[in-house]
Structure formats: structure tokens, C-alpha cells
């Protein structure tokens, strides 16, 4: 039952549909806050009205013993609102934490905001513009970045809104519960055509979603019909080889550049002694602006790719690099290579451990 029905106005769309797992909880918190506001406003207005009537001009009310201090009343109007405020704060903080703590089993979807559209990359290679297609009953992580200015990815029916920033990844997650089509907005003014930066979230049943993935359903049966390309890992490997990454970042750590195998999530030491984690933001910075953070023991010899790679290409390249640390048999940049137990193994050679604190950019 939606919040509209709960307050008896289900024929009037005061609220968007509740189409995600935490939409109901957020609506209940909103309703409680709203009711408490009305309650205290009503008490204040009622007391003003009663006292104004009793002590109106020329009334016969006793004014001989005015009360200047009443500790009981003062404690009541201080402690009760404070406790209620703390309850609302803790409740809201928990919901906020739940909304941004991504489950371990969430599937990743990449969102690129640009003036003025949303570009969606699925890891299997399907891409969509201004449309996000997902099934019910499965958690999804949105990894977002902007190509130009600050945007804000907002799906009212899911009760999620996340700023999309240039130069830095942000994330949010959701699990859709109700099949249907829902609005997608940019909630941050981003330029002259900001109001046109809208889209649709298409929530399908698991069966329809599988049919959509397989591209077997007709356009009338399952919309929108998207175009399948290479997977993000496959495209990333192609970019890795095309732009010359494989010339230096070989499976072995070398004096020229570090290996990228099993690097994702590892600690790295910079020339200035700073210790950084090789996460998505770190790797993106070192691809586009490699001279900003140079790993200890290496020179800043890597070319700058800022302006030469799109955000979509960077996303695919990072997907490939990440796969090198998780795949049992990663696709090597050159030569037959396998990774076992965090070590690079080449034919006719003894296992060689990867040093995660060495390597260049």
C-alpha cells in the first residue's frame, strides 16, 4: 500500500510510486516528520488563539499574578522536541547509510552525465541513452561520473538522488520492486537545456529482462530495444592495446612501468611518500593525468590521455584493468600469462609475486 492510500488520498498523486526496496521506509519517515510538524504547528497556533481570546482587550481575565517562569513548561517544550528530533535524526541517518551502502552482490551499471543526456553502460556491452533498463528483485550499483559539469541522477520512484561529478566517481544503489516505467531527472541545474535532461527507467520482470538481454523480444514486446556491443572488459582490452598501454604495462613489473595485473584495490606508495589505494578514482586520474600521482621508484614518462579518451572509454578500460585482478586467466597484453594466488606465472618460469607498492603511474 502506497503512502497516498495510507493517508486516504490515493486518487491524488501526491507521491511517486514506491518502486524500490527502501522507498516505503523513506516515505514513512517523511510522513512522520510532516505529521510532527503539523502537530507542533497546531499546538502553537491553538495556544496563541486561546490566549489571545482569554486575554483580549477589555476581557475580565485575572492579570494580577502574571507567570514569568515555569520550569515544568520550559523543560517540557525543550526536552520533548529534542528527543523527537534525535529520533528523526537517527532514523534518517540509518536510511541514508542504507541507501549508500552498496550490497556485495549488486551488479554494476555505469552512468555518464553530459550536457544534456544520460548515457548508460551495462557491463555486458548494452548501452542506452536517457533510458535505464533493469529487472525487479536484483540489486544494482550505479557508478556515476560527469563528462562536463555537475549533474544529479534522480529517480523519484526509487527515492534515490546522487550528484554526478566531473573528475570523480560517485555511487548509489537500488533494488526495483515494481515493474513499470518511471521518470529519470537531472536534479542539478546544468545549463540552458537542463529541463530537457530527462529519461525513463524501464523496470521489467526477470523473464522480460532476460528476453531483453538476449534481444529476442520484439520492439513492441520489450522496450526500449538497445544495441549490444562488446562487453566492457572486451572493449577495455581493445583500448588497452590500441592506445599503447600494453607497450609498457606488461604482465611483469618492469623498470619502465608497473604491471597492472592484480593491481585493483591494492595499496600504492607515491613519490612523496603518500599511500593510496588503487581504486577506480585513483586509476582514472593516473590514466588521464598520470603526472599528478607518480608511484615511488618510477619517472613521470607516461603520456597524458586527458582529452583523448571519453568517459565511456575510461569506464571500459577500468573494467578491463579490474578484471585482471579477479579473473583466473586474464586476457594478457602480450604473451601467455596466468594469475594464480595473486602471482603472475609465465611458461617455463617460476612464479613471480607482484609487488603492489612498485610501479609507475
**What CATH number corresponds to the domain at position 265?**
1.10.760.10
Residue 361: inside a domain: no
Number of domains in the chain: 3
For residues 327 and 233, the answer to whether their CB atoms sit within 8 Å is no
- What are the tens digits of pLDDT across the range 39-98? 999 999 999 999 888 888 888 878 778 778 888 888 988 999 999 999 999 999 999 888
Please check whether residues 120 and 217 belong to one and the same domain.
yes
Secondary element (H or E) of residue 214: helix 206-214
- Which CATH number covers residue 184? 2.60.40.420
Q: Which residues pair with 134 in a beta bridge?
A: 203
Give domain status of residue 360, yes or no.
no
50 C-beta neighbours (distance < 10 Å), count: 10
Sheet containing strand 338-340, edge to edge, reads 338-340, 343-345, 352-353
Same domain, 206 and 125: yes
Cα separation, 323 vs 286, in Å, equals 18
Residues 130 and 207 occupy one common structural domain: yes
Same-domain pairing of 188 and 240: no
The pLDDT-based confidence of 150 (bands split at 50, 70, 90) is very high
- CA separation for the pair 121, 311 (Å, rounded): 11
- 223 and 285 in a common domain: no
Boundary-marking domain end, from 207, 228, 249: 228
Domain hosting residue 295, numbered range: 232-353
The pLDDT tens digits of the residues spanning 231-281 come to: 888 888 888 888 888 788 877 666 778 878 888 888 888 888 888 888 888
In this structure, the answer to whether residues 332 and 309 fall within a common structural domain is yes
How far from 361 is each of 248, 252, 270, 302, CA to CA, in Å? 11, 15, 9, 7
Instruction: Return d(Cα 66, Cα 63) in angstroms, integer.
Output: 6
The reply to whether 310 falls in a domain is yes
Look at 74-78, 154-158, 256-260, 312-316 and tell me which has the smallest mean pLDDT.
256-260
Eight-class DSSP state of 168: B
Same-domain check for residues 111 and 204: yes
Amino acid at each position: 500500500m502506497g503512502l497516498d492510500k495510507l493517508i486516504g488520498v490515493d486518487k491524488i498523486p501526491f507521491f511517486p510510486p514506491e518502486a524500490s526496496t527502501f522507498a516505503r521506509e523513506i516515505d514513512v519517515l517523511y510522513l512522520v516528520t510532516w505529521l510532527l510538524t503539523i502537530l507542533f504547528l497546531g499546538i502553537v497556533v491553538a495556544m496563541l488563539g486561546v490566549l489571545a481570546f482569554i486575554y483580549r482587550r477589555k476581557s475580565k481575565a485575572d492579570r494580577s499574578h502574571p507567570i514569568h517562569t515555569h520550569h515544568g513548561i520550559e523543560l517540557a517544550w525543550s526536552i520533548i522536541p529534542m528527543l523527537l528530533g534525535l529520533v528523526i535524526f537517527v532514523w534518517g541517518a540509518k536510511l541514508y547509510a542504507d541507501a549508500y551502502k552498496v550490497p556485495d552482490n549488486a551488479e554494476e551499471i555505469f552512468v555518464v552525465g553530459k550536457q544534456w543526456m544520460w548515457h548508460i553502460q551495462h557491463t555486458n556491452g548494452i548501452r542506452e541513452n536517457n533510458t535505464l533498463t533493469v529487472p525487479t528483485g536484483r540489486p544494482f550499483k550505479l557508478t556515476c561520473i560527469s563528462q562536463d559539469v555537475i549533474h544529479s541522477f534522480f529517480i523519484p520512484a526509487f527515492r534515490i538522488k546522487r550528484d554526478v561529478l566531473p573528475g570523480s566517481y560517485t555511487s548509489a544503489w537500488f533494488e526495483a520492486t515494481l515493474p513499470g516505467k518511471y521518470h529519470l531527472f537531472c536534479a542539478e541545474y546544468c545549463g540552458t537545456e537542463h529541463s530537457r535532461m530527462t529519461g525513463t527507467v524501464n523496470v521489467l520482470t526477470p523473464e522480460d529482462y532476460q528476453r531483453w538481454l538476449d534481444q529476442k523480444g520484439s520492439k513492441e514486446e520489450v522496450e526500449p530495444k538497445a544495441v549490444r556491443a562488446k562487453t566492457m572488459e572486451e572493449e577495455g582490452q581493445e583500448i588497452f592495446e590500441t592506445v599503447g598501454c600494453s607497450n609498457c604495462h606488461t604482465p611483469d613489473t618492469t623498470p619502465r612501468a608497473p604491471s597492472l595485473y592484480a593491481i585493483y584495490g591494492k595499496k600504492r606508495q607515491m613519490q612523496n611518500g603518500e599511500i593510496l589505494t588503487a581504486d577506480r578514482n585513483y586509476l582514472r586520474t593516473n590514466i588521464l593525468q598520470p603526472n599528478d600521482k607518480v608511484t615511488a621508484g618510477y619517472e613521470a614518462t607516461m603520456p597524458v590521455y586527458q582529452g583523448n579518451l571519453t568517459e565511456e572509454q575510461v569506464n571500459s578500460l577500468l573494467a578491463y584493468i579490474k578484471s585482471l585482478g579477479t579473473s583466473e586467466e586474464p586476457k594478457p597484453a602480450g604473451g601467455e600469462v596466468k594469475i594464480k594466488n595473486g602471482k603472475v606465472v609465465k611458461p617455463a618460469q617460476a612464479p613471480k609475486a607482484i609487488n603492489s607498492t612498485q610501479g609507475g603511474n
